[in-house]
Amino acid sequence: MSRRAFLITLALAAALLSVAQWTVLRSRRTHGDESGGLGKAQWIWAEQRGEPGTPMAFFAVKDFDLDFDPFRAAITITADEEYHLGINSPGFGVGAMSDDARLDRYLVQDILRRGSNRIRVELRSSRGVGGFLARLEVSDGWGRKVDVVTDDSWRIFRTFDPEGLGESDEIPVVWGRPPTGRWGERREVRDALSLTQLQGETSRRPLPAQRWRLPREEWRKAETYLAPRIDRWVTFDFGASQTGFLNVKFDDREPSLGFVFYGARAPKDGLERPDEVIVRMRGRDHWPASRPARFRFVTVVGSPTIVGVEIFPVAAELAADRLDGEPVVGLFGIEQPQTLLSPVEHEVRRQLEGLPGLAGR
């Protein structure tokens, strides 16, 4: 190839590359960043209070305005350990940190509105420390765009208030933009379903457990989930296998800790690693799970003011990528225990010490 031909080819390649880059940038301006890019989002968290490792639950809140009707909007989000996402109302989406470093992305144009909007995220960590990362991209389809990211402009609330969050002058601790700390890069994005979408054709009503029992006692019929106050170790039976999000109810609004164990069979002595850790903030009289599960029996340990449980059913096929496998069954049909890993173990076990029939278990 002659020098002239080489230079012409090089110029054409550069021109094609410029056109491709312009096309991508124009598409992102109009439709949002399809790659799930996090822009200037930073990892944030609430300031640790109390002893290091103390479990923590709180709200991170961001208010913002739109001067146009949203045509397309998506929020990309993750949290260590768990999040409950609400936009202009509670109960939109939930998730928990996974080992595969994926981010959840929800399409939210239908729940945003012209004027004032609020993102409210409940965050929990059984270790106390954690991180929250999110970016909301909103477009009107004609070039106007609003970008909302996690940074020090968010507000922190430590008490649950169903009527509204009031005022707060607490700002988050900012860990920095990714990659940072233990979280590394967050590249892969999963298109997540909202809680309503996960329900599919299932009932919208919660299903209460049918009966419950204390250790070494007979089963008692549960007329409703608002049963009389029961003990620190109680097993509930839903009567048949269910798939959905557990909701534990209490007769007070004080912070509390506890363990949740799911099972296909009534549990035996020797439960080891919990499937869920209850970290309840002040002001909440219930604890909704952050991940769906498939089970018939559920045992709650360590929460003395529990009054019952219920499940919000979801379609198993829609929640398949979030469900763990069936319990592993060992010799004699006993579900195999695993090593307990939760940092909240010592506090719950301390609460159980000396409780008749439970000490040492």
pLDDT at residue 21, rounded to an integer: 46
| 3-state DSSP assignment of residue 156 | strand
pLDDT at residue 102, rounded to an integer: 83
Looking up tokens 């419950």 gives: 212
Dihedrals phi, psi of 196, to nearest 5 degrees: -65, -40
Domain coordinates in residue numbering, the chain: 43-192, 199-352
Q: Is residue 62 a contact partner of residue 52, using CB atoms and an 8 Å limit?
A: no
Distance CA 174, CA 42 (A): 7
CATH fold match for the domains 43-192 and 199-352: yes
Q: What tens-digit pLDDT sequence spans the chain (361 residues)? A: 565 655 556 555 555 545 444 443 444 433 344 334 788 999 999 998 878 888 999 999 999 999 999 999 999 999 999 999 999 988 899 998 876 668 999 999 999 999 999 999 999 999 999 999 999 999 998 989 999 999 999 999 999 987 777 788 899 999 999 888 788 776 688 899 999 999 988 878 899 999 998 888 889 888 754 455 677 889 999 999 999 999 999 989 999 899 999 998 877 655 668 899 999 999 999 999 999 999 999 999 988 788 889 999 999 999 888 886 554 444 333 344 333 334 455 555 555 554 444 444 4
Class for domain 43-192, per CATH?
A: mainly beta
- Look at residues 248, 240, 235, 312 and name the one whose alpha carbon lies nearest to residue 276: 248
pTM of the model: 0.80
pLDDT at residue 31, rounded to an integer: 39
- Look at residues 125, 159, 132, 95 and name the one whose alpha carbon lies nearest to residue 277: 125
Topology given in CATH for the domain delimited by 199-352: Jelly Rolls (2.60.120)
- Look at residues 62, 68, 156 and name the one whose alpha carbon lies nearest to residue 112: 68
Give me 249's structure tokens: 């109810």
pLDDT at residue 200, rounded to an integer: 87
Rg (CA), the chain: 24
Give the burial string for 86-124 (b: 16+ CB within 10 Å, else e): bbeeeebbbbbbeeeebbbbbebeebbeeeebebbbbbb
* Cis amide leading into 292 (omega within 30): no
pLDDT at residue 35, rounded to an integer: 37
pLDDT at residue 9, rounded to an integer: 60
